[in-house]
Amino acid sequence: MSIRMRAGVSARLGFALEDLCREILAVNGWQVESSDSFSDTGIDIIATDPTRNDRIAFEVKYTRNPMYPTSALRISSERLIESANAEGIDKAVLIVAADIKPEIKERVENQYKIQILNLDDLLSLASIDLELLGRLVKLREIDLSERNLDSNIKSIIQPTIIKSSSDTSSSHENEKIGINFIDVLKAIPLGKEGCYKFEDTVSEILQYLFDGDLTGWHQQKRTTDDLHRYDLICRVIDNSTVWKFISLNLDSRYVLFEFKNYKDKIGQSQVYSTEKYLYEKAKRKVCFLISRKGPSKNAVVACQGAMREHGKLILNLDEDMLIDLINSKISGDDPNELLFEKVDKFLMELPR
């Protein structure tokens, strides 16, 4: 959580998890340093081992998803190694508040010589204090009876020396791609002049962000009657919470993306025209309407009406939201967190 994006629910939950991890380490005898001394280093926590007096760097990753994406796990590991080396620390622990497949956990740990703590590890460490354990269970919204806790708490955190020669090229390449997308996006002229460039660029950004969650990327797909043309249509893979919710709860196996490079906020007419593309029996009930300036008040009302009256979910993403999603990917976080927050907020605030 080292890159602090606009303060949304996901960001606040991430920061709450960081604070909780500090308390969990402290109650287990670790000497936790004030974050003021290293707040700009890309490390969330620095703490000293109570038995060996080793100074160890910790990075904390929050997610609603039951599993953490492997690509994000690698990027986070590489960024943590670089941050620890810059701080002169030779041991590091990546805390991920989710489940990780044992073979993936072992592979990443062996590759980077850092230790990864998964959700069960964190719950085990918190179990020494019932109040902390309860807060962690509430934060992650889990059933504790389904978890396997380790009673040998003192042996849980056992990091080894970081490999000084670790390859961090994936992290650098990911960051390079993300920053380039932001620069290109901002440089696209508003209006008709940049409409095709905006469509192509945002399509590439979406694949960069959600390649493991969506498949069958079809740009400018026409219906068989040749009456409608979708800017982009994808098939949903049920890998993460937000896409599983869209697929199962909203019964939408396909998702549309419409791009509007307008100079002003989009109006209700753009929402109405988009709504015509959504069709329940075709399992196509969700569309992300992506524009430069976001929706007008009338457009928001039209989106609410489409959901309330017809069960069609039309969500608006603006340029700033796209940049937040890219920054999330750069930092090794899961962009799906921000997307879930957007869906959740829209449905929670849906008026009668």
**pLDDT on residue 230:** 63
pLDDT for the residue numbered 204: 97
pLDDT, position 291: 97
Instruction: Return the DSSP state at 279.
Output: B
| DSSP class per residue in 76-130 | HHHHHHHHHHHTT---EEEEESSB--HHHHHHHHHHH--EEE-HHHHHHHHTTSH
Q: Please tell me the distance from the alpha carbon of residue 152 to that of residue 159, in angstroms, as a whole number.
A: 16
- For position 180, what pLDDT does the model report? 98
pLDDT of amino acid 65: 86
Question: What is d(CA 212, CA 194) in angstroms, rounded to the nearest whole number?
Answer: 28
Decide which of 3.40.50.880, 3.40.91.30, 3.40.50.920, 3.10.129.10 is the CATH code for 172-348: 3.40.91.30
Residue closest to 35 by CA, chosen among 62, 15, 61, 49: 15
Question: Hunting for tokens 């629910």 — which residue is that?
Answer: 9
Q: What is the pTM of this model?
A: 0.87
> Which stretches in the chain have pLDDT values below 50?
1-7, 223-227
Lookup: tokens for 29? 């005898």
Q: Is 226 left (phi over 0), alpha (psi -120 to 50) or beta?
A: left
CATH architecture of structural domain 9-167: 3-Layer(aba) Sandwich (3.40)
Residue with tokens 């590991």: 77
Helix (DSSP H) and strand (DSSP E) numbers for the chain: 12, 10
pLDDT for res 169: 84
Q: Are strands 45-48 and 31-32 parallel, antiparallel or unpaired?
A: antiparallel
Of the candidates 47, 57, 41, the residue with the CA atom closest to the CA atom of residue 94: 57
29, 96, 125, 241 from 67: Cα distances, Å? 29, 9, 20, 9
Domain boundaries, given as residue ranges, for the chain: 9-167, 172-348
DSSP state letter for 99: B
Residue 166: predicted pLDDT: 67
DSSP E strand boundaries for the chain: 31-32, 45-48, 55-61, 92-96, 115-117, 214-222, 229-236, 254-260, 286-291, 313-317
**Three-state DSSP class for residue 69:** coil
What the block records as the tokens of 185 is 């996006």
What would the two tokens of residue 167 be? 């390859």
152-190 pLDDT per residue, tens: 999 999 999 987 666 778 889 999 999 999 999 999 999
What is the reported pLDDT for 32?
95
Q: Please give the pLDDT value at position 37.
A: 64
